[in-house]
Structure 1
Amino acid sequence: MKAAGILALIGCLITGAESKVYTRCKLAKIFARAGLDNYMGFSLGNWICMAYYESHYNTTAQTVLDDGSIDYGIFQINSFTWCRQAKQQEKNHCHVACSALITDDLTDAILCAKKIIKETQGMNYWQGWKKHCEGRELSDWKKGCEVS
């Protein structure tokens, strides 16, 4: 009977990392509190639009790329340059484990995204932003969300 209980516990732990998919307005509030509105000149609408097209607001989103690296979390931050997945060749510019980018707590992901904005060419790092958000009117992304 103990073995069955232990197996059940292990099963819960393995499946315990359920994905959290934020609503647009909840994410707008989190982003606003984190100081993303007009961070490095990018409006809150840019951040909300980018997160939608990168991950559909899914905190556990992961995309394996052709080079073997993985994009993680709500911002789809790449393992080769920005976070530590376990391989030595990774640069880990954000000084964070990739697993920290796929939790419901967005603190590490937001800090890393801010670093990316500073160290690269702004939001051009994110292809979803370039294709769907760049140069567009983005005020509707925060409409009705009770953020200024």
Structure 2
Amino acid sequence: MKMQGLVLMVLLCAVAQGRVYTRCEWAQLLKDQKMDGFKGVSLADWVCLTQHESNYNTSAKNTNKNGSTDYGIFQINSKYWCDDGKPNATNACGIKCADLLDNNPLDDINCAKRIVQDPNGIAAWVAWKCRCKGKDLTKYSKGVDYGLEQ
């Protein structure tokens, strides 16, 4: 009985910790979630963006000079897009910031889709502007299966 409890505790901790994807795993997931071409943004742009924001880590978290925090694989900012419990946050994605740190990136992807619909588009992410915009991004989507949809 003790062993079962220990196994359950280890599994719960693993779920709460998040996940680091490989480039190909992440690119395939983004493709499966219809991110390639969403609002004119290529798969390679999304993969480049997330590599430079979080290195494909769903539990990445960084505090900014203005007191806001960036959460998850897309480094979604608490001032505008999610609720971190602080006053004056917009929470345009309607999500708790902590939910962006788990090993399920689907809510992160949905929020990224919301962000890219704003006037700044993908340029809302500084890492994309500095590290991806205007660059040859073919290496970011290399090896992704572009076969028929399942």
- Could you list the runs of 5+ residues in structure 1 that have no partner in the other structure? 1-7
TM, length-normalised to structure 2: 0.85
Alignment of 1:129 with 2:146, yes or no, is: no
Matched residues, percent identical?
Answer: 38
Secondary structure in 1 matching 2:117: helix
Q: Which amino acid aligns with 1:141?
A: Y
1:119 CA displacement: 1.2
Correspondence for 1:32: 31
Q: Which amino acid aligns with 1:29?
A: Q
Distance 1:72 1:97 in 2: 10
Distance 1:135 1:144 in 2: 21
Q: CA RMSD in A?
A: 2.1
Secondary structure in 1 matching 2:17: coil
1:15 CA displacement: 5.2
TM, length-normalised to structure 1: 0.87
Greater shift in the superposed pair: 132-141 or 69-78: 132-141
Greater shift in the superposed pair: 131-140 or 66-75: 131-140
Distance 2:43 2:138 in 1: 8
Q: Which amino acid aligns with 1:112?
A: C
1:14 CA displacement: 9.2
Alignment of 1:1-148 (within 5 A): 16=14, 17-147=16-146
Distance 1:103 1:18 in 2: 6
Distance 1:60 1:83 in 2: 15
1:66 CA displacement: 1.0
Distance 1:98 1:87 in 2: 11
- Could you list the runs of 5+ residues in structure 2 that have no partner in the other structure? 1-5
1:103 CA displacement: 1.3
4+ residue runs over 3 A deviation: 11-16
Structure 1 contact 28–147 (Cα < 8 Å) conserved: no
Q: How many residues align?
A: 141
Secondary structure in 2 matching 1:49: helix
Structure 2 contact 30–36 (Cα < 8 Å) conserved: yes
